[in-house]
Amino acid sequence: MMKSTRLVALASCSALLVVAGSACGSFSSSSAAPGEADAAATDAPVTGDGAVPGDASGGEAGDVDGATVSPFEIANGLTDLEGVAMTDSTVYVLEHDPGHVLAIPISGGAPSVIEANAGSPLGIAVANSSLYWTNFGGSKLNTVPLSGGAGPSAITLAGKNPFAIAPASDRIVVLSLEAGDAGDLGEVQQYTFNLLPGPSVPGLQNPFDVAVFGSNIFWTEAASGGRIGRGTTGQSSSVALADGETDAQSIAADASGVYWAQPSLNRVRAYFSTGTTTIAGGETAPHSLVTDATSIYWLTGDGKLRRLAKSSAAPAKTLASGFMTAFAQMRVRALAQNAKYLVWITTDGRVLRLAK
């Protein structure tokens, strides 16, 4: 089991709008994405508005930069957590070393086992009313219906070790590494929801993470000086969106832009139609980016959940802190979201939740 090459994934990106980026810290947008209300985000404390059904916590509240925070603990005592995904009611996590895929009610409770022999699971995503995950050591892509009934099915990726995973509207996109002596060479692979193979983009140099928005696929390559690549669903062609992005790792995207973390440089970068810019500097090993209509969120190596509002010139704010995030090589996808909550995993086996 290749613990030194544990890798994982996340989600979203397409028609990019012109967004003004400041050279240091944050940015603002003067226009909303198509079909999206131009709702202004603020940098006020993010506060829980109560509990989900069955949640006796009384809600959770996150304040900013040093104030008391109280994320709700969904679960604890888990082993070697490596990935997280969620629906409105359920959180799905991977225990990498035991090889377990678990489901936990978002209101808390005992985990149920979806797959007890998942090999070396790394990436996990929800799409098409099903759960998908990658088995790095077993060279497999797996799926199971969320409704239950049918057991997991899988496809073997001959000569490939899959890790990062991202859903598109009509397919699953996977990053994989070449098995054997190919080292850090990898590719973007596309599969239908029924696990039939589609086009691939080969020749990636140490690929790290992948995101999909609309028909666009974006990924990071940590080698060759660092690259942000872009492709299209249903096609095998690709272009370099940005080069010279040293240590480009976790990536996320939306209609406003593409965002990626550079942990060794302690910063978060972005690509807008006006070019690339640093949107948050002075971060401690940022990783696990996600984005919604108003904000970009990430975790840091010193145990913080951070938020950068898109419509404010204010710098990033701390929503929660004091948890363990020393993941191996910072390559774990440790943060997920739905419309109401942010959920993240910790290296001491906890699953935490904070209302947006």
CA distances for 46 relative to 309, 335, 351, angstroms: 11, 17, 19
The total number of structural domains that make up the chain:
1
Q: What order do you get walking across the sheet with 81-86 strand by strand?
A: 81-86, 90-95, 100-105, 112-115
- For residue 343, the number of C-alpha atoms closer than 13 Å in the C-beta half-sphere is 27
Instruction: Determine which helix (DSSP H) or strand (DSSP E) holds 350, and give its type and residue range.
Output: none
How many whole angstroms from its chain centre is CA 20?
24
Instruction: List the domain range (segments joined by +) for residue 293.
Output: 3-31+40-355
- Residue 17 has a pLDDT of 34
The DSSP call for residue 333 is B
pLDDT tens per residue across span 258-292: 999 999 999 999 999 999 999 999 999 999 999 99
**Helix or strand (DSSP H, E) at 157:** none
By DSSP bridging, strand 335-337 and strand 160-167 are unpaired
Mind listing the pLDDT tens digit for each residue in 52-92?
A: 333 434 446 554 454 546 899 999 999 999 999 999 999 99
Nearest one of 259, 263, 228 to 245, comparing CA atoms: 228
End-to-end Cα separation, the chain, in angstroms: 37
The Cα–Cα gap between 275 and 18 comes to 9
C-alpha 243 chain-centroid distance: 22
pLDDT for the residue numbered 327: 84
User: Which CATH number characterizes residue 71's domain?
Assistant: 2.120.10.30
* Helices and strands (DSSP H and E) totals, the chain: 0, 32
Hey, what's the torsion of the CAs at 278, 280, 281, 286, to 10 degrees?
-110
pLDDT score at 152: 82
Round the average pLDDT of the chain to a whole number and report it: 83
Element (H, E) at 194: none
Position with higher pLDDT, 149 vs 337 = 337
Residue 277's contacts (CB-CB under 8 Å, 6 or more residues apart) are 21, 22, 23, 27, 269, 270
Rg over alpha carbons for the chain, rounded to the nearest Å, is 19
Give residue-wise pLDDT tens across range 172-230: 999 999 886 556 899 999 999 999 999 999 999 999 999 999 999 999 998 879 999 99
* Model confidence pLDDT, tens digit, residues 84-128: 999 999 999 999 999 999 999 999 999 999 999 999 999 999 999
